């Protein structure tokens, strides 16, 4: 338990961990069953639902699946990483192998490196050297990605391009781990797409471009302003008091500082821990508080929230 929590708050958190809910992890098991059932159900029923109703149902379901995968890599619902990997390996969202996401994200949890280019794998900032070496077109894209609209529109393509470039380098270098990972993920993805083509009304291209990419774009909005540069690591992570639809899709990761301080705390306990000491959490964040994703759209829809160049790196 981190030392900056007072003893009463520590006892509250420990009491949450001793409950039957936390020991059984039944909410996460129920969520897993629900997502798998809904994915197969929507696709099998797509001939009756129609392509566009199925699309509108599948996009938020894939956003939720990405959040479920995040929960799995943090040690839920079992204490065994191999079991959680099996539970989360289904390539519903297509583009990111589970193990790649897991390994990269756990590195992101080194809070002393948050936002630092080249050290935080999820940083959206460029170092002075990277900025100087960028073309005017690349700089324009990075500025666009610093608006909420731009993040939604180009965040996913930029992320996928960066993923392809980095992973191709690993494959060309003969990285055995990368070859095994992409072979297993690619094989499962091909099987999944063949299943979709055979049993659903959705063309494969439609699932890839009009379902999985929009789902990734929505997930990009969640991470749009999760972190900011700051000298104090704990003041680099946001507290976003989002409304219930977004909290559900993102499994309460909007309370992001709580998650970073207590990465083992399950998704269903994050709101309770935050609200029980809201003033303390806001003070710990240095006032890094956002009043929902609507605020980001209203204020920074077409205005850059900050510079893509890291201010002190």
Please identify every stretch of the chain with a pLDDT value under 70, giving residue numbers as ranges. 1-4
Could you tell me the residue ranges of all domains in the chain?
Answer: 7-223
Contacts 24+ apart (CB under 8 A), 123-126: 123/227, 123/310, 124/223, 124/227, 124/308, 125/229, 125/308, 125/309, 125/310, 125/313, 126/308, 126/309, 126/310
Instruction: List, for residues 15-65, the tens digit of each pLDDT value.
Output: 888 888 988 999 999 999 999 999 999 999 999 999 999 999 999 999 999
What pLDDT score was predicted for residue 278? 94
Instruction: List, for residues 171-198, the tens digit of each pLDDT value.
Output: 999 999 999 999 999 999 999 999 999 9
What pLDDT score was predicted for residue 12? 82
Q: Name which of 211, 224, 77, 262 is nearest 144 in CA terms.
A: 224
Rounded to an integer, what distance in angstroms lies between the CA atom of residue 298 and that of residue 192?
38
CB 130, CB 310: distance < 8 Å: no
Reading the block at residue 231, the tokens are 């000298």
Rounded to an integer, what distance in angstroms lies between the CA atom of residue 71 and that of residue 65?
10
What average pLDDT is seen over the chain?
Answer: 94
Q: Name which of 304, 311, 312, 313 is nearest 142 in CA terms.
A: 304
Rounded to an integer, what distance in angstroms lies between the CA atom of residue 295 and that of residue 301?
9
What pLDDT score was predicted for residue 22? 84
Backbone angles phi, psi at 201, to 5 degrees: -90, 0
Reading the block at residue 200, the tokens are 């659903």
3-state SS of the chain? CCCCCCHHHHHHHHHHHHCHHHHHCHHHHHHHHHHHHHHHHHHHCHHHHCHHHHHHHHHHHHHHHHHHHHHHHCCCCCCCHHHHHHHHCCCCCCCCCHHHHHHHHHHHCCHHHCCCCCCCCCCCCECHHHHHCCCHHHHHHHHHCCCHHHHHHHHHHHHHHHHHHHHHHHHHCCCHHHHHHHHHHHHHHHHHHHHHHHHCCCCHHHHHHHHHHHHHHHHHHHCCCCECCCCCHHHHECEECCCHHHHHHCCCCCCHHHHHHCCCCCHHHHHHHHHHCHHHHHHHCCCCEECCHHHHHHHHCCCCCCCCECCCC
CB 225, CB 296: distance < 8 Å: yes
What pLDDT score was predicted for residue 312? 86
- Helices 81-88 and 51-73: angle between axes, nearest 10 degrees: 170
What pLDDT score was predicted for residue 8? 79
Rounded to an integer, what distance in angstroms lies between the CA atom of residue 90 and that of residue 252?
22
């Amino acid at each position: 338990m981190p030392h900056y929590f007072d003893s009463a708050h520590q006892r509250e958190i420990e009491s949450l961990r001793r409950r039957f809910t936390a020991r059984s992890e039944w909410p996460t098991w129920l969520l897993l069953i629900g997502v798998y059932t809904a994915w197969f159900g929507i696709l099998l029923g797509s001939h009756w639902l129609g392509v566009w109703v199925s699309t509108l149902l599948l996009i938020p379901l894939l956003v939720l699946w990405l959040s479920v995968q995040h929960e799995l890599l943090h040690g839920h619902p079992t204490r065994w990483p191999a079991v959680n990997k099996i539970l989360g390996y289904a390539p519903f969202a297509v583009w990111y192998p589970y193990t790649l996401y897991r390994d990269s994200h756990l590195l992101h949890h080194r809070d002393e490196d948050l936002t630092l280019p080249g050290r935080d794998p999820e940083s959206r900032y460029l170092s002075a050297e990277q900025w100087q070496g960028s073309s005017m077109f690349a700089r324009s894209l990075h500025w666009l990605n610093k608006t909420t609209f731009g993040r939604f529109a180009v965040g996913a393509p930029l992320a996928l391009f960066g993923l392809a470039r980095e992973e191709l380098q690993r494959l060309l270098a003969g990285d055995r781990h990368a070859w095994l990972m992409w072979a297993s993920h690619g094989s499962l993805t091909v099987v999944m797409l063949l299943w979709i083509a055979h049993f659903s009304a959705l063309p494969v291209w439609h699932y890839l471009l009009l379902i999985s990419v929009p789902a990734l774009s929505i997930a990009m909005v969640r991470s749009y302003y999760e972190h900011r540069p700051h000298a104090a690591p704990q003041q680099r992570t946001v507290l976003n008091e989002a409304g219930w639809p977004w909290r559900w899709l993102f499994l309460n990761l909007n309370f992001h500082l709580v998650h970073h301080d207590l990465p083992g705390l399950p998704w269903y306990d994050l709101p309770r821990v935050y609200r029980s000491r809201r003033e303390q959490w806001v003070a710990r964040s240095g006032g890094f508080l956002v009043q929902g994703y609507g605020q980001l759209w209203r204020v920074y829809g077409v205005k850059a929230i900050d510079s893509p160049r890291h201010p002190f790196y």
